[in-house]
Amino acid sequence: MSAPFPFQYPSPTAFYLALYLLTFVLHQAFMHYVLAGGLYVAWATILPGRQTQPRTVEPLVATLRDWMPFLLSAAITAGIAPLLFIQIVYQLQFYTANLLLWWRWMLVVPVLIIAFYLLYLIKSSMLWNWPYPLRVLVATGTSLCFVFVGFCWTANHLLANSRSSWPEVYGTGRLPLFASIVVPRMLIWIGGSFATMSVIVGWQLISRKQAAVLADDSKSTNELTDESASHLPLLSWSGLAVALLSSLAYLVQLDGVTRGIVFGWSFLPYVLLLVAGAAMQGYGWYQQWTVKMLTIRGLVLASAGCALTLLSVAVLREAIRMRAIDLTEMATRHADATKVGGFGVFLVAAIVVSGVIGWCIRLVQSGLKSQQY
């Protein structure tokens, strides 16, 4: 039996792989919130319902609207570390895929900037006084921005693994990516993002519920209880089902050797952890579904399952990449990279930035307190 991933590789490579995976999981959680949140807000905008108030002002969508700008900032910030590590670990493949994607890759940053400002427009009350077609255009356009960014990263990953197709892509400019491969892989992320988003927004809603209880606001308490119990379990279960079916469709298209690696001794524990994590999420939401309210016990169980699922998916994703890349050839380069440091500069910057962030939080808290009086 071989050593567990990522420690089956030379020590410098294993070190960078481990850091890449851990930081990627954090980035993935924030990214899932924004991707699924944007799609759900777009759906609620297109189909506002026939209730006394539209879905866009109900607690679930209102919470997403309030938090998505911040969570997008968190996703971008948390993405810096895995981006640095992926450039070290998969240097040739990553940069080559970037260049071959050309204008598509160059659009990622402008599209994210546009989406970032649109999220603040969605958060404001101004948008919801506009005509229905404009509201739909803004909400749908924002969600499509995140889907486009997801497609670019998916294309980058698939292209980096297809070294034999690089000359053809360079000569023709066309990507050798079939819909039968891209669509299932995109749906894995989109489906999984709804499960992750449900867990995070569940904690946000239960915090709002507790605040409403302290404020003796029975109306808000009832709204939060009813909506979370009826929507979040369905969103999580549906997302997990889509991700599972898409994963099966994607695995079927892989060659036998790659499937053998995924289900081999090195990665089989992560497959089992993935199944266990999904089951924990499903049962955690089932507990809350039966009592028709959010519970800390159910959210803790769903959160633990979500963490296991995110980690397992990240590892299995790299297992497929290992099939196309021989990292042992880069062991010397990785060993040299470990000697490059700047810890002193990092420490000073971390202290300064932490102080500035703390000062900003203090200013906001002071402003909020002054508005209460």
Kindly report, residue by residue over 53-84, the tens digit of the pLDDT.
777 888 889 999 999 999 999 999 999 989 98
Output the pLDDT for position 260: 83
pLDDT range class, residue 38, cuts 50, 70, 90: very high
The model's pLDDT over 248-298, given as tens digits with 9 standing for 90+, comes to 998 888 888 878 888 888 788 899 999 999 999 999 999 989 888 888 999
| pLDDT tens digit sequence for 182-203 | 888 899 999 999 999 999 999 9
163 contact partners, CB below 8 Å, separation of at least 6: 93, 324
Spell out the residues 6+ positions from residue 36 whose beta carbon is closer than 8 angstroms to its own: 190, 193, 194, 196, 197, 198, 235, 239
Q: Residue 112, SS3?
A: helix
251 Ramachandran zone, left/alpha/beta (phi>0; psi -120 to 50)? alpha
What residues contact 115, with CB distance under 8 A and at least 6 apart? Answer: 38, 72, 142, 145, 146, 149
- DSSP string covering 4-18: PTTTTS-HHHHHHHH
pLDDT of residue 55: 79
152 or 176, higher pLDDT: 152
Average pLDDT, stretch 197-226?
69
Under DSSP, the state recorded for 329 is G
Instruction: Please tell me the distance from the alpha carbon of residue 248 to that of residue 261, in angstroms, as a whole number.
Output: 15
Closest CA to 155 of 135, 179, 139: 179
pLDDT band at residue 1 using 50, 70 and 90 as cut-offs: very low
Q: Which pLDDT belongs to residue 48?
A: 81
Omega before 6 within 30 of 0, i.e. cis: yes
Collapse the DSSP code of 373 into the 3-class scheme (helix H, G, I; strand E, B; otherwise coil) and give the result: coil
* pLDDT for the residue numbered 134: 94
Q: Which residue has the higher pLDDT, 222 or 172?
A: 172
Query: How many CB atoms are located within 10 Å of the residue 24 CB?
Result: 24
What is the DSSP track for 271-312?
A: HHHHHHHHHHHHHHHHHHHHHTS--HHHHHHHHHHHHHHHHH
- Supply the pLDDT for residue 216: 52
* pLDDT in the model for residue 9: 66
Dmax over CA atoms of the chain, in Å, equals: 68
Q: What are phi and psi of 138, to 5 degrees?
A: -70, -50
For residues 51 and 61, the model is more confident at 61
Question: Does residue 52 or residue 83 have the better pLDDT?
Answer: 83
Residue 279: other Cβ atoms inside 10 A: 14
Alpha carbons 361 and 10: distance in angstroms, whole number: 43
**Residue 357 CB-density burial (10 A; 0-12 exposed, 13-18 middle, 19+ buried):** exposed
Average pLDDT, the chain: 85
d(CA 275, CA 244): 10
Give pLDDT tens digits for 317-352.
888 887 777 777 777 777 777 777 777 787 888 889
Phi, psi torsion values for 372, nearest 5 degrees: -80, -15
Q: Which residues, in sequence order, are CB contacts of 291 under 8 Å at separation 6+?
A: 229
- Per-residue CA distances from 122 to 38, 41, 166, 194, 324 (Å): 10, 9, 40, 19, 42
pLDDT, tens digit, 9 for 90 and up, residues 295-325: 899 999 999 999 999 999 999 988 888 777 7
pLDDT at 229 over 50: yes
Whether the per-residue pLDDT at 94 is higher than 70: the answer is yes
Which pLDDT tens digit goes with each residue over 160-174?
888 888 898 888 888
